[in-house]
C-alpha cells in the first residue's frame, strides 16, 4: 500500500492548481469559524471533504457519530455479502485513478483478484473508505453526534452553531456552511409500523437497520416484512444463522424485477437531471419510485437456496398481537405465527424527525410546497421530500423567516427528487459531489465578494522587479 499511497500524493501534486487557500478566515466573538462543517463521515462526507480540499477550501471539519473506522453501514447493519453496484462504478475518488476502488483493491489483493471479482464485498468497501480517509488525511472526528444546529445572527448575515455531543461531554462549533451527509435516513427516520411497536415486545422484533443477535434466532420462525434488498439480506442472514423458517411478506402482488438504478447510471442523467424543469424531474422520479428496486439476483438466490424460506406476495401485515409466547400477524391470507419479526419497511421522509433540524424543519420547502403535479400523477411520498436549490441547499417555504437555511446543504437520500442520485448512492457520487462542492465554493466566494475586491485593491506584489537587464 505504500507504493499506492505515494502514487496518490504524486497524482494530486501534479494537478495542484490553483494551489493556495482563498477563503478569508473568520471569527465571531473571538471564536474561530469553520468554512464548512460536514455531518457524517461515510462515503458522502469523505468525498465532500476531499472535493472541498481540491478547491482549496481547507478550513473544514467532518463529524461522525460512529466509532473510528466504522462510519456508514458497511460493517454495522449492512448484511449483504457484496455491494449492489457493479465493481467498475467509481465513487469518492472524483476522477483520480490512484484513488479509485480498483486501484486500492489491486494494491491490496492483486490484479488477478480484481479480474476474478464479481462485486466488491462490503468489508472491502469499508476498508477502502478507511484507507481513503487516511491517505488524504481528512479531518474526521469520530464518536461525535451533531444534536442541534441553530442560526447565529451576524452583522452581515448568519452563521450556524453546531452542538456536538460525545462520550466526553458537549461542545459547540461555529460554521458558515453545513453539509448533512447522513445517509439513507438522513431526511427522516427508519420506519417501523406502529402496530408492531405497540403490540410486540421490543426484544421480539428489529428493524433491518438495527442490531440483531442472529445467533439467538437458531431454530426460530422468522417473519420478515418488506420487499427491498435489505429485507432479503436479513432473511438470508437469519437462515444462514440456523433459523428454522423465514417467511418474507410484501404488499405488492409481484416482486419488483426491473432495477431503475441500472438505467440511471449514464452520464446524461447523472450529470444533468437536476437541471430539468420540475414537471420532468417529477415524472422521472415518479417512474423510478413506482418501479422500486428489486433485490439483486444473487441476494434472491441466497434466500431461495434454503428450504425454510418462503415468499408471500400480496400479503401486507394488517396487525400484530401476542398469544402466549407467539407473535401472531394478521394478513389477508389469515394469521401467521412467528417467534421473531424483522422489519424491512425502509425509512420515512420527515425532516421534523431530525433533531439537528429542529430549529428549521417547519420552514423547509418541500416538493409539495413548490410544485403541483397533474391530478393523475400525484405521489405523496415524492411530495414529502425537500425541494432543494442548485447546490443542494435547503430553501425557505416562507421567504425571510429562516434565512440561515440557505447555509445548510442536504446531501442525503432525501435529495434524490431534486438532484438525482447523489451522496447516499455510490453510483451518483462522482456527479453529486462535484455539484455540491461547486455550490459551496460559489456561495462562499459570493458571500465574500467585497472582501475579495478589497484584497485585489490592496494587492501590490510586483512581478516586474527590475528595469535593468541582467549583467
- High-pLDDT (> 90) share of the chain, %: 93
Task: Please state the rounded mean pLDDT for residues 178-190.
Answer: 95
- Cα 106 to Cα 126, 137, 418, distances in angstroms: 16, 22, 36
> Tell me, what's the pLDDT at 216?
95
Task: Please state the rounded mean pLDDT for residues 47-76.
Answer: 96
Residues 32 and 8 in one domain: yes
- In degrees and rounded to multiples of 5, residue 71 shows phi and psi of -65, 145
> Tell me, what's the pLDDT at 122?
96
Q: Of 345, 378, 411, at which residue does a domain stop?
A: 345
30 Cβ partners below 8 Å, 6+ apart? none
**Rounded to an integer, what distance in angstroms lies between the CA atom of residue 469 and that of residue 433?**
50
* 291-302: pLDDT as tens digits: 888 999 999 999
Task: Please state the rounded mean pLDDT for residues 247-276.
Answer: 94
Cell, residue 28: 465571531
**Rounded to an integer, what distance in angstroms lies between the CA atom of residue 189 and that of residue 343?**
14
Residues 395 and 334 in one domain: no
Asked whether residue 396 carries a pLDDT value surpassing 90, the answer given is: yes
Answer whether residue 266 is part of any domain.
Answer: no
Task: Please state the rounded mean pLDDT for residues 130-138.
Answer: 98
Answer whether residue 171 is part of any domain.
Answer: yes
Residues 143 and 247 in one domain: no
> Tell me, what's the pLDDT at 208?
97
Mean pLDDT across the chain: 96
Asked whether residue 91 carries a pLDDT value surpassing 90, the answer given is: no
Residues 78 and 132 in one domain: yes
Asked whether residue 119 carries a pLDDT value surpassing 90, the answer given is: yes
Residue 293 vs residue 349, higher pLDDT: 349
Residues 63 and 156 in one domain: yes
Model confidence band, residue 319 (pLDDT cutoffs 50, 70, 90):
very high
- What is the tally of structural domains in the chain? 2
Answer whether residue 264 is part of any domain.
Answer: no
Residues 126 and 229 in one domain: no
Residues 317/311, Cβ–Cβ less than 8 Å: no
Asked whether residue 401 carries a pLDDT value surpassing 80, the answer given is: yes
**Rounded to an integer, what distance in angstroms lies between the CA atom of residue 149 and that of residue 471?**
64
The DSSP bridge partners found for residue 180 are 39, 410
Closest CA to 38 of 173, 177, 138, 179: 179
CB-CB neighbours of 369 under 10 Å: 16
Residues 82 and 155 in one domain: yes
Residues 130 and 199 in one domain: no
Secondary-structure percent of the chain, ordered helix, strand, coil, rounded to 5? 40, 20, 40
- In degrees and rounded to multiples of 5, residue 290 shows phi and psi of -65, -40
Structural domain span for residue 336: 192-257+294-345
DSSP 217: G
> Tell me, what's the pLDDT at 212?
96
CB-CB neighbours of 185 under 10 Å: 20
Answer whether residue 73 is part of any domain.
Answer: yes
Asked whether residue 470 carries a pLDDT value surpassing 90, the answer given is: no
Residues 15 and 42 in one domain: yes
Q: Of 285, 316, 345, at which residue does a domain stop?
A: 345
> Tell me, what's the pLDDT at 255?
93
**Model confidence, pTM:** 0.95
> Tell me, what's the pLDDT at 437?
98
* Range name among 27-41, 179-193, 418-432, 438-452 with the lowest pLDDT average: 418-432
> Tell me, what's the pLDDT at 114?
97
Residues 346/189, Cβ–Cβ less than 8 Å: no
Cα pseudo-dihedral 69, 392, 351, 423, rounded to 10: -30
Residues 15 and 70 in one domain: yes
Asked whether residue 442 carries a pLDDT value surpassing 90, the answer given is: yes
Task: Please state the rounded mean pLDDT for residues 154-166.
Answer: 95
DSSP one-letter string for 377-390:
G--HHHHTSB-B-T
Model confidence band, residue 134 (pLDDT cutoffs 50, 70, 90):
very high
Answer whether residue 279 is part of any domain.
Answer: no
Answer whether residue 79 is part of any domain.
Answer: yes
Residues 104 and 202 in one domain: no
Cα pseudo-dihedral 101, 190, 415, 357, rounded to 10: -120
> Tell me, what's the pLDDT at 30?
95
Answer whether residue 458 is part of any domain.
Answer: no
At 19, which CATH number? 3.50.50.60
Residues 163 and 196 in one domain: no
Q: Of 303, 319, 345, at which residue does a domain stop?
A: 345
Answer whether residue 265 is part of any domain.
Answer: no
Asked whether residue 423 carries a pLDDT value surpassing 80, the answer given is: no
Cα–chain-centroid distance for residue 94?
Answer: 16
> Tell me, what's the pLDDT at 126?
97
Model confidence band, residue 425 (pLDDT cutoffs 50, 70, 90):
confident
Amino acid at each position: 500500500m505504500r507504493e499506492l499511497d505515494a502514487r496518490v500524493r504524486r497524482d494530486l501534486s501534479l494537478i495542484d492548481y490553483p494551489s493556495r487557500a482563498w477563503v478569508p478566515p473568520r471569527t465571531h466573538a473571538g471564536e474561530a469559524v469553520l468554512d464548512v462543517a460536514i455531518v457524517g463521515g461515510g462515503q458522502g462526507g469523505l468525498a465532500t471533504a476531499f472535493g472541498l480540499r481540491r478547491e482549496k477550501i481547507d478550513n473544514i471539519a467532518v463529524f461522525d457519530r460512529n466509532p473510528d473506522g466504522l462510519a456508514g453501514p458497511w460493517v454495522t447493519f449492512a448484511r449483504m455479502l457484496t455491494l449492489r453496484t457493479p465493481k467498475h462504478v467509481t465513487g469518492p475518488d472524483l476522477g483520480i485513478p490512484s484513488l479509485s476502488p480498483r486501484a486500492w483493491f489491486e494494491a491490496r489483493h492483486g490484479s488477478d483478484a480484481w479480474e476474478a471479482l464479481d462485486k466488491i464485498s462490503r468489508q472491502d468497501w469499508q476498508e477502502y473508505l478507511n484507507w481513503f480517509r487516511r491517505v488524504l488525511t481528512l479531518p474526521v472526528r469520530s464518536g461525535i453526534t451533531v444534536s442541534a444546529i441553530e442560526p447565529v445572527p451576524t452583522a452581515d448575515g448568519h452563521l450556524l452553531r453546531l452542538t456536538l455531543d460525545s462520550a466526553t461531554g458537549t461542545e459547540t462549533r461555529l460554521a458558515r456552511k453545513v453539509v448533512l451527509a447522513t445517509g439513507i435516513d438522513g431526511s427522516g427516520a427508519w420506519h417501523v409500523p406502529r402496530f408492531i411497536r405497540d403490540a410486540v415486545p421490543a426484544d421480539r422484533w428489529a428493524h433491518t437497520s438495527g442490531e440483531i443477535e442472529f445467533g439467538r434466532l437458531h431454530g426460530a420462525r422468522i417473519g420478515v416484512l418488506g420487499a427491498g434488498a435489505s429485507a432479503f439480506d436479513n432473511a438470508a442472514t437469519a437462515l444462514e444463522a440456523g433459523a428454522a423458517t423465514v417467511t418474507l411478506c410484501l404488499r405488492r402482488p409481484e416482486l419488483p424485477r426491473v432495477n431503475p438504478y441500472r438505467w440511471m447510471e449514464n452520464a446524461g442523467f447523472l450529470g444533468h437531471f437536476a437541471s430539468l424543469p420540475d414537471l420532468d424531474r417529477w415524472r422521472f422520479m415518479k417512474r423510478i419510485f413506482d418501479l422500486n428496486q428489486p433485490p439483486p439476483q444473487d441476494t434472491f438466490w441466497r434466500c431461495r437456496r434454503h428450504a425454510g424460506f418462503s415468499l408471500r406476495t400480496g400479503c401486507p401485515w394488517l396487525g400484530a398481537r401476542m398469544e402466549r409466547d407467539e407473535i401472531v400477524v394478521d394478513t389477508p391470507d389469515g394469521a401467521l405465527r412467528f417467534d421473531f419479526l424483522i422489519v424491512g419497511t425502509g425509512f420515512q421522509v420527515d425532516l421534523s424527525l431530525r433533531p439537528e433540524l429542529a430549529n428549521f424543519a417547519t420552514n423547509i420547502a418541500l416538493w409539495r410546497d413548490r410544485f403541483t403535479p397533474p391530478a393523475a400523477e400525484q405521489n405523496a411520498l415524492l411530495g414529502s421530500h425537500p425541494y432543494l436549490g442548485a447546490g443542494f441547499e435547503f430553501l425557505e417555504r416562507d421567504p425571510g423567516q429562516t434565512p440561515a437555511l440557505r447555509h445548510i446543504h442536504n446531501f442525503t437520500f432525501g435529495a434524490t427528487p431534486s438532484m438525482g442520485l447523489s451522496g447516499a448512492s455510490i453510483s451518483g457520487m462522482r456527479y453529486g459531489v462535484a455539484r455540491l462542492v461547486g455550490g459551496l465554493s460559489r456561495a462562499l466566494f459570493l458571500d465574500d465578494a467585497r472582501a475579495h475586491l478589497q484584497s485585489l485593491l490592496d494587492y501590490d506584489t510586483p512581478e516586474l522587479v527590475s528595469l535593468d537587464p541582467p549583467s
